[in-house]
Amino acid sequence: MAFLPILKVVLEKSQVSPPRATIDTRSLPLTFFDISWLPFSPVHNLFVYEFPITKTHFVETIVPNLKHYLSITLQLFSPFVGNLILFPTPNKPPKIRYTEGDFVPVTFAECTLDFNDLTGNHPRDWDKFYPLILSLDTLQNTRFRFPMAWTSIARSGTNESFLAKGDFPLHDRLGDQNYHQFLEETRISTNSNLTIACAYILSCIAKSRNNELQVFGIIIDCRTRLVPTVPSNYFGNCLATCGTMEITSVLIEKDGFVTAAKLLGE
C-alpha cells in the first residue's frame, strides 16, 4: 500500500509506566468475548485537536505533562500496560498479566500535513491518515473510557476529581453462564428499526450483485442484552458479531425484504 509522502519528525520516544509500587502483579483472564476477537487486528483511533502553540512549548511543557498524567491514569487501567499471554500451557487459558516495570510506548512526532485539510468537512484521500497511526505489534484493548479518564486527570492536575466520581474501571470477568444465557435469549419476537434497516440494505445489495451467496454481518453491543446487564464501567470486550447468509435468488424475490428481516431477527 503506497502512502502519500509526508515529513514526519519524531520528537521523542518514551516508555510510560504507572507510578512505582502502586500496583501489585496481577492477571486478568480473557472471557469468551475477548477470545473471539483475537484473530482480528486491533482498532486504530485517531483524535485530532486544534492547539496552536509553539514547538518549544509543546516539547518542554505539554509532553512532560501528558506523560505524567498518563502514568497516573495507567494506575487505574493496569491491563493496558500488561502483556497478553496466549496459552502459556495447553491447560492454561489466555490472560493479560501486569508486573512491575511494564510500560506503554509513547511517541511524539510532527508532520507537514495540513490540519484544516484533515479536519475539514470535504472529501479527501483516505491514505493521508494512515501515516499518523503507529503500527501495533500486540493486541490492545481499546475503550473510550481510558482517554476520557486521561483527559479528566490532566485537566484537574490530579486523579482526585476522577476518583470522586466513583467511575472506576470494573475488572470483574463475565462467566460462561452469561454467554450461554445470551445465546438462549438472542431470538427476538419483533423486528427493531435496526433489523428493518439492515434487511432493506441486504435485499438491495442482493439485487445489485451477482454473487450466489449473500453474507451480512454487524457488530452488536451485548452489555444490555445480558442478565444482569453489564455495568457501563466494565473493562473488557462485550461485543459480538451478528449475521446471516442466504442465496441471492431468495433475497431478490418479491418477499426478499421480509425474508431478510426474518433471517436477521433470528
Give the span between the Cα atoms of 51 and 38, in whole angstroms. Answer: 36
State the pTM of this model: 0.69
Residues composing the chain: 266
70 plus 22 within the same structural domain: yes
Q: What is the largest CA-CA distance in the chain?
A: 67
Residue 77 covered by a domain = yes
115 lies in the same domain as 197:
no
Do residues 154 and 217 both lie within one domain? no
Structural domain contains residue 4: no
Q: Residue 221 sits in a domain of what CATH number?
A: 3.30.559.10
Q: Residue 84 belongs to what domain range?
A: 9-167
Residue-wise pLDDT tens for the chain (266 aa)? 344 456 578 888 999 999 988 888 888 888 888 888 888 877 777 888 888 889 899 999 989 998 998 998 898 888 889 998 887 777 888 888 999 999 999 888 888 888 888 888 888 887 778 777 765 443 333 345 677 777 778 777 777 666 666 666 666 655 555 555 554 555 555 667 878 888 888 888 888 877 688 888 888 888 877 777 777 778 778 888 877 888 888 778 888 888 888 887 76
Indicate whether 33 and 160 sit together in one domain.
Answer: yes
Domain ends where: 104, 137, 167?
167
Q: Does residue 38 sit in the same domain as residue 145? A: yes
Are 154 and 198 contained in the same domain? no
Q: How many domains does the chain have?
A: 2
The pLDDT tens digits of the residues spanning 161-213 come to: 666 666 666 666 555 555 555 545 555 556 678 788 888 888 888 888 776 88
**CA dihedral angle for residue 205, residue 211, residue 215, residue 216, rounded to 10 degrees:** -10
By the 10 Å C-beta count (0-12 exposed, 13-18 middle, 19+ buried), 222 is classed as buried
Tell whether 226 is covered by a domain.
yes
With the C-alpha atoms ordered 196, 199, 205, 206, is the resulting torsion angle positive or negative? negative
- Based on the fold, state whether residues 37 and 141 are members of the same structural domain: yes
Same domain, 216 and 125: no
184 in a domain, yes or no? no
Single-letter amino acid, residue 180: H
Alpha helices (runs of H) in the chain, residue ranges in sequence order = 32-35, 55-57, 63-74, 115-119, 145-156, 160-164, 176-184, 193-208, 248-251, 256-265
Do 61 and 159 fall into the same domain? Answer: yes
